[in-house]
Structure 1
Amino acid sequence: MNILVTGGAGYIGSHVLKLLLKAGHKVVTLDNLQKGHRQAVTGGQFVVGDLADRKLLNKVMQENKIEGVIHLAADSLVGESMEKPAKYYFNNFINGINLLEAMVANGVKYIVFSSTAAVYGEPKEIPIKEENLTKPTNTYGESKLFFEKALKRYEQIHGLRSISLRYFNAAGADPEGEIGEAHNPETHLIPLILETALGEREKIYIFGDDYPTRDGSCIRDYIHVNDLAAAHLLAIESLAVKNKSAVYNLGNGEGYSVKEVIQAVKTVTGRDFPVEIAARRAGDPAVLIASSAKIKEELNWQPEYYQLEKIISTAWEWHKNGGFNK
């Protein structure tokens, strides 16, 4: 299959790309490298470009006879989204519409979309199911929900089939050590803690310890990046055989608090480091835990890395060996 991956030089995108290549697909990666890494693109064709460039999108799709798209390119910082909403509406929604218009113009009929658990906002019940109320508490989640709604309209009007994957917290690294998580600036909890364990940061901050949870810190569902990548492969192959559009949660169904993740990192690394309580961040729900029963039943998705310490161990190997600087 000829597949276009947007954002394929990023953390999740690079793991998706690697798995697609292993499965024998022909892949073109499009990434503007604002946050991605050229060395994370492990094969296929690579195009430096932006979704705002409609001419480039048409050229890539035409020249490579693209059949399906996996769309991961996005801004994804919750805090920033509450400070710079326009950036998130433009990059995550308007540029996404550019992509859909290019797909329609070039006869590309299916897309897998990297959505987020942030579309649910503060959930009324746990674990969260796909049919639960979507009421985002931040601009990031809202921009993703807008695009999900656009996908439904594009199917109604243009016959464009889609699968939206609502991620919970991606974590871990490629077990082969080739690629991993490297953001600048880093904002994700596990790599921040690992950098603290390595002495690259003075301390790790817990943003709020007064949430209505078992230890006062936020609880999240952590899913290994390779398990996320496997879901993308199943989703694009499902759409290719004309299966129906769908929305799926991706998580482990287990929740861990920030304090528990910090303790797990200390156990895995055998290192101690300072921890400090800071003020809450705007838009952070107290608890996000997924039910992934639907994708397990319909696409036979089975996560391999369901233990928190195993997930952290793959990330620790990547970071202590120098990441992309090794």
Structure 2
Amino acid sequence: MILVVGGAGYVGSHVVNLLLEKGPVVVYDNLSTGHRGSVDERAIFIEGDLSDQKRLTQIFTLFPVQSVIHFAASDSVREAMGNPEYYYENNVGGTLALLKVMRACRVKNIVLSLAVTEENKLLEQKCMIEQMLEVYTKAYDMNGIVLRYCKSKNVQATDSESPEDAISDGTCNKGFNNVTNVANAHVLVLEALERGELAYKMYDLSNVSSENLQQELEWQAERNVHEMIEDAWNWHENSKC
């Protein structure tokens, strides 16, 4: 069973849909930016905060979780500058809480999903959680993948955006960053972790280093611009629920 933290968001919900074709999924989300209506009915949904260690422990106790995908790191640069305390608590504190519970419950595999800005720069807090994950994998015999992708409108969407707005101006390799392509990459690296092929690795879908993922795990971008519009439209309509 897979736990998807932040699985009610745009990218997270697409990953959940793919994972459900392979087995059961638990979605854990506080719905601060995600939408309950975007979570597939086949998934088990639990509402809660990333920093709530007691709640997380209950999930790992109740369900046979073997791996985690973490989408719950906040990524708004404007809000991070306006309220840095919240961002450190959520991104750094929340990720640390998750890793502590995983370690206590002997869950070894995690994919850390990080959206970057159009300028391909990570928020400071996200750099810290990348480093924290790398240290944890080495110190506590855990396996972790960091998967970076460009935070452009062809990956992220909100209630206020129309389907046409979900297509960006061409920055950040829009063919690679269609949400379905990004979701497929998450599933691919998770499967590699579960097969024991990787211990710690960072893959970047936002620039030419995505070639590493293509060569090592045979990942390919498959969706075109018309399918991008369809993806954005479907999610936009479903998230109104």
* TM-score category of the 2 structures, normalised to the smaller one: 0.7 to 0.9
Shift in CA distance, 193/182, structure 1 to aligned 2, threshold 3 Å: closer
Aligned to 1:194: 164
Aligned to 2:32: 34
1:49 and 2:48 correspond: yes
Percent sequence identity is 34
Shift in CA distance, 169/314, structure 1 to aligned 2, threshold 3 Å: farther
Over residues 250-297 of structure 1, what are the superposed CA-to-partner deviations in whole Å (9 max), with x where a residue is unaligned?
14xxxxxxxxxxxxxxxxxxxxxxxxxxxxxxxxxxxxx443100001
Q: Secondary structure at the match of 2:28?
A: strand
Aligned length: 236
Aligned with 2:234 (options 301, 307, 318):
318
Q: Which amino acid aligns with 2:37?
A: Q
TM-score under structure 2 length normalisation: 0.87
Distance in structure 2 (CA, Å) of the matches to 1:324 and 1:147: 29
1:246 and 2:201 correspond: yes
Q: Which amino acid aligns with 2:105?
A: N
Shift in Å at residue 65 of structure 1?
1.7
1:302 and 2:220 correspond: yes
Aligned to 2:178: 224
Distance in structure 1 (CA, Å) of the matches to 2:150 and 2:157: 18
Aligned to 2:150: 168
Q: Once superposed, which parts of structure 1, at least 4 consecutive aligned residues long, lie more than 6 Å away?
A: none
Over residues 176-231 of structure 1, what are the superposed CA-to-partner deviations in whole Å (9 max), with x where a residue is unaligned?
xxxxx6535x5xxxx368369xxxxxxxxxxxxxxxxxxxx994333111111111
Q: Secondary structure at the match of 2:126?
A: helix
Distance in structure 1 (CA, Å) of the matches to 2:88 and 2:170: 26
TM-score under structure 1 length normalisation: 0.65
Over residues 105-140 of structure 1, what are the superposed CA-to-partner deviations in whole Å (9 max), with x where a residue is unaligned?
00001100012334xx967xxxxxxxxxxxx5xxx6
Shift in CA distance, 221/55, structure 1 to aligned 2, threshold 3 Å: same
Shift in Å at residue 171 of structure 1?
4.9
Is the CA contact (8 Å cut-off) linking 1:10 and 1:36 kept in structure 2?
yes
Distance in structure 1 (CA, Å) of the matches to 2:151 and 2:227: 11
Unaligned runs of 5+ in 2: none
Q: Which amino acid aligns with 1:194?
A: E
Aligned with 1:183 (options 130, 141, 158):
158
Distance in structure 1 (CA, Å) of the matches to 2:165 and 2:182: 23
Distance in structure 2 (CA, Å) of the matches to 1:310 and 1:224: 10
Shift in CA distance, 238/316, structure 1 to aligned 2, threshold 3 Å: closer
Over residues 33-75 of structure 1, what are the superposed CA-to-partner deviations in whole Å (9 max), with x where a residue is unaligned?
1111111110221111111110111110111021110000121
Distance in structure 1 (CA, Å) of the matches to 2:151 and 2:232: 17
Is the CA contact (8 Å cut-off) linking 2:14 and 2:180 kept in structure 1?
yes
Shift in CA distance, 322/3, structure 1 to aligned 2, threshold 3 Å: closer
Distance in structure 2 (CA, Å) of the matches to 1:182 and 1:301: 24
Aligned to 1:256: none
Q: Which structure has the greater CA radius of gyration?
A: 1
Q: How does 1:54-73 map to 2 (within 5 A)?
A: 54-73=53-72
Distance in structure 1 (CA, Å) of the matches to 2:202 and 2:237: 37
Is the CA contact (8 Å cut-off) linking 1:71 and 1:114 kept in structure 2?
yes
Unaligned runs of 5+ in 1: 124-135, 174-180, 197-216, 252-288
Distance in structure 1 (CA, Å) of the matches to 2:128 and 2:214: 26
Q: Secondary structure at the match of 1:220?
A: coil
Aligned with 2:188 (options 220, 234, 237):
234
Shift in Å at residue 149 of structure 1?
0.3
Distance in structure 1 (CA, Å) of the matches to 2:211 and 2:48: 37
